[in-house]
Structure 1
Amino acid sequence: MTRRAAAALVMVLLATAGCTPSPAAPRDPGKVVLPVKQVEVAGRLYATKSRTLYRFSGAHLVKLLTGVRVKDPAVNTDGSQLAFAQLQEQSSTIGISDARGDNLQTVTPAAGPEGKLWAFAPRFSDDGQRIVYLSDRGKQESNPQNLQPNDLAVFSQDLAGGAARRLIAPIPYTGGDSDPAFRPGANDQLLYTTYLYGGAPLTPVSRLTWMSLRTGARVYLSPDGARNFEPAFSPDGRFLAFVRAGSGSDDLYVMSLASSFSREPQPEPSEAATLLQAGIVSQPVWAPDGSAIAFLMLVNGSFDLFILPVATDAAGSVHATGPAKAVTHGSFLDADSRLAWSP
């Protein structure tokens, strides 16, 4: 090769070096992928991918409820029962099964006089005898000429029998409330996310809401204009993990909560919350012993499962004791479906 030819080749290579195509967008592998260095999961941790329920335990991964499209798994205190939303074409119901996914029972109707119904996000009481969940039961008939609100409300139901009871009427045309859960050790207290419009000018906001089931009193735990959601109680009920939306991020925070219901906690407790994990985080849940928080986080285009070790210091604050570890890798888990964790 002549010097001129060699020089020309070098110039071509230099000219094209900055024009390499960008890497292809990540693709869903169609299965749950575990990293080469696996993270062992203490107890049993439940998540969904493509509406299929999976259980992580130790270094093992098991698919449950084959043929059932699942969202929002929940587990009772001793881990013997699962609750979850069963998705159909134009409706969903709450199902209850044992920990293996067997002995499935459906405890909410798929339709009523008002038409087909939706139900999501069940959570057990401490004794496993009641659940709270979201539903659009009682909605008004609606059509394109006469649109009526079709918002999700928080319901309570005794699993031994009896009618479901609506606990909260949602603010119309917001989509309804979300994330209901009994407080561990104090099942006369409920926490959920209220969706509404606030601030000036009015914008969509989400506020953590604390409710006394004895009196019906409710109080916001986050200020007007905030975007806080997906609250998750620690096993002892002392702390609350939640997601706070910021500019281009959904970060994981934790705060403490007074032991007894307070009508006007000021300033709002969420304002003193501690940042645990920055990023695009979703669906936090505590380990049964309170030693870690699991969540989904967006990494390279995929929502994957992570576990963050935490501890409570002498001042009574929760902090991370190490980095979050990836349980899955490039698995595209369902970021809109709750996680559940049992012993």
Structure 2
Amino acid sequence: MQLLGSIPGSVKIVEVGPRDGLQNEKDIVPTTIKVELIKMLVASGLPVVEATSFVSPKWVPQLADAKDVLEALQNVDSARLPVLTPNLKGFEAAIAAGAKEVAIFASASESFSKANINCSIEDSLARYRDVVLAAQKLSVPVRGYISCVVGCPVEGAIPPSQVAHVAKELYAMGCSEISLGDTIGVGTPGVILPHAILLAELILYCLMIPVFGGSVIPMLEAVTDVVPVEKLAVHFHDTYGQALSNILASLQMGISIVDSSVSGLGGCPYAKGASGNVATEDVVYMLNGLGVSTGVDLVKLMLAGDFICKFLGRQSGSKTATALGKITAHASKL
């Protein structure tokens, strides 16, 4: 147990399924379904559920009903319901609709920043300073996201110093929390020796496979040097099946905030084959096994996952939900 001694006794889970999970769905999900999903997630005990995003409907048609979603949730006060606001216009619209918390979205990759939000990293930070300043005047907390903290689909591996720079800027401007996102899910938990890295890169080069990323440990070390660890969250996609391992490594480094998406919904539209966020059900199951408190009822969480998966007409991306569902189905036949 000495190995696990540094793990926090409790972890705050930030559910991102209703926003990050649904935003790239091709078929429009009705407002009523989104609202019901959020209410079910809140009922499971999740303390934070990211509700929607106030972006241009031209860019994200799926979230064109952001105002209606938020207004339908005004009586839900047992959980925090932050919304994404990419600029000052989006922030003002969110506040007018009743938002009490917002989030902004930067990148550690110059190429990804230009592809995703159509501006450079520094230009995005300048834009977000205006948002944070406006939020501070209204005492509205702002969460900062950083994408591509380990690897980028265009640039490959991202230097930890680059991630630390963006994190430091977001913290300095007043973000109350900063989420570190492995957007294409290429990170691993191990610290690889330099000669092993060179050998791996040589093999991948010979096979004409791009080297996208590496260990999350050096990245977290660089960021915790400039931002207090209690202000940091991790946000892992599970493309290579490494998300839970990366979360465990992050917990051992003192991180106590984890982003996840019910049923593993979501994905990165700019990276081929990039699967969704780590499933919330799988994170809760692992944390339960570690004796870490989350305040989340796994059964109620699975009901929320089953609800949205049935509507979308697909199987859950959660291994926990799939396994427990089979056990329950088998037991009901006995």
Give yes or no for TM over 0.5. no
More helix by share: 2
**TM-score of the two chains, using structure 2 as the length reference:** 0.32
**TM-score of the two chains, using structure 1 as the length reference:** 0.31
Identify the structure with bigger relative contact order (alpha carbons < 8 Å, sequence gap 6+).
2
More strand by share: 1
